[in-house]
Amino acid sequence: MKDMKKIFNIKKKFCFLLCVTLTVSLLLGCQSNRKEAVTKTGFYFDTVISITLYGQDKEPYIDRCFEMARTYESYFSTTIEDSDVSRINQHPGEAVTVHPETAELIQKGLSYYSVSEGRFDITIGALSSLWNFSDSSGKIPEHSKIEDALQTVNASSVLVDGDQVTLTSEGTKIDLGGIAKGYIADQMKSYLKEEGITEGTINLGGNVLVLGPKEHQETTTYSIGIQKPFSEDGSAIAVIKITDESVVTSGIYQRYFKQNGTIYHHILDSSTGYPYDNGLASVTIINQSSVDGDALSTTCFMLGLEKGMELAESLENTEAIFITTDNEIYYTSGMGTIIPFEILN
């Protein structure tokens, strides 16, 4: 494992080089045929979706992306009664026929169970349903209910055979919330590229996926801010410059409530039933795939700073930024070299 403290301490040296690099990029990126951005927002999966494309004729394509979001919600949601996932959860012991993409995403979620050493578990549904992080007035569930829910978390009870999914354990519930948004973002990007659209941004509640480089704007790269944890005005603690990549952050400040001075957030430990308390505030993953970024940001958070960093460093075409609860920043070796990166004061 690399000396993370050393990496952190040399950030100021990187800053100067990055400023020069970004200035050159800005100069090279100037275009005379600049197109106007079109942005639309919607609300799906209990989160705000925002899509930006360039050119007034692109609005119908954004509308089609929102139609895709509605369709995927009908597959993956745990709150829609007749969704694929809800039907699986309602019929334990039965083979439930689902849309092929539902089966595909479930398989993807199961693959991260081993990658995360058993921490990333899509059968956490009974446990996650006990916690309410939708506003700041949430309450800690009764300990006995948490203990009961923990008995149902069992990834090995999910069997996938083609487009049929079976839960073999009574009470076990699938929850794809830790991976669904990334999958949907990837599908939207794939659709837009098939339609010949090669610049724009897709933002699914913090899962940011860009089509690029920009072709008709002042700069060719997209600037993506990494939020400073618990910043009241949403200010950034760092900025990265990317083209045609995904940026996904999992953090304790995204959905949480505070009780008796303790923060209770939405990233739950399936071994205890309570939120993780490992000194991390957020993990950001930068790579080509939003679905992998979604799963990896959560997985690396769950593994903690040291093991999470080791995993991120071991993966090709993947970079990561770790922010601790005291706002120290650690990052993989490609940040600042492969991916232009600036830490803000």
310-341, pLDDT tens digit by residue? 999 999 999 999 999 999 999 999 998 889 99
Nearest Cα to Cα of residue 276 among 242, 244, 302: 302
- What is the model's pLDDT at position 45? 85
Q: What are phi and psi of 98, to 5 degrees?
A: -125, 170
pLDDT at 174 over 60: yes
Q: Which residues contact 35 (CB under 8 A, 6 or more apart)?
A: 54, 55, 216, 217
Tens-place pLDDT, residues 273-299: 999 999 999 999 999 999 999 999 999
Lowest pLDDT segment from 11-20, 210-219, 274-283: 11-20
Tens-place pLDDT, residues 107-157: 999 999 999 999 999 999 999 999 998 777 789 999 999 999 999 999 999
Nearest Cα to Cα of residue 247 among 302, 178, 307, 201: 201
The residues with which 285 forms a beta bridge, in sequence order, are 248, 320
Q: What are phi and psi of 136, to 5 degrees?
A: -80, 0
- What is the model's pLDDT at position 23? 31
- What is the model's pLDDT at position 216? 66
Distances (CA, A) of 43 to 47, 110, 322: 6, 27, 28
Inter-residue contact 75 to 83 (CB < 8 Å)? yes
- What is the model's pLDDT at position 234? 84
> Which is more confident, 20 or 154?
154
Model pTM score = 0.88
Phi-psi region at 118: left, alpha or beta (left = phi > 0; alpha = psi -120 to 50): left
pLDDT band at 307 (very low <50, low <70, confident <90, very high): very high
- What is the model's pLDDT at position 135? 72
pLDDT at 9 over 70: no
- What is the model's pLDDT at position 134? 79
Q: Which residues contact 279 (CB under 8 A, 6 or more apart)?
A: 304, 305, 324, 325
List the domains of the chain with CATH numbers: 4-69+181-343 (3.10.520.10), 80-167 (1.10.3980.10)
| Separation of CA 313 from chain center | 18
Across 119-140, b (16+ Cβ under 10 Å) vs e yields: bbbbbbbbbbebbebeeeebee
> Which is more confident, 231 or 89?
89
Long-range contacts (CB closer than 8 Å, 24 or more residues apart) made by 231-235? none
pLDDT at 12 over 90: no
Residue length of the chain = 345
- What is the model's pLDDT at position 223? 94
| DSSP string over 211-242 | E-S-SSSS-SSEEEEEEPTT-TT--EEEEEEE
pLDDT at 212 over 50: yes
Phi-psi region at 239: left, alpha or beta (left = phi > 0; alpha = psi -120 to 50): beta
pLDDT band at 34 (very low <50, low <70, confident <90, very high): low
Mean pLDDT of the chain: 89
The residues with which 304 forms a beta bridge, in sequence order, are none
Residue type, 112: Y
pLDDT band at 85 (very low <50, low <70, confident <90, very high): very high
Task: Give me 296's structure tokens.
Answer: 């990896």
Nearest Cα to Cα of residue 175 among 41, 40, 270: 270
- What is the model's pLDDT at position 18? 33
Q: Which residues contact 258 (CB under 8 A, 6 or more apart)?
A: 136, 264
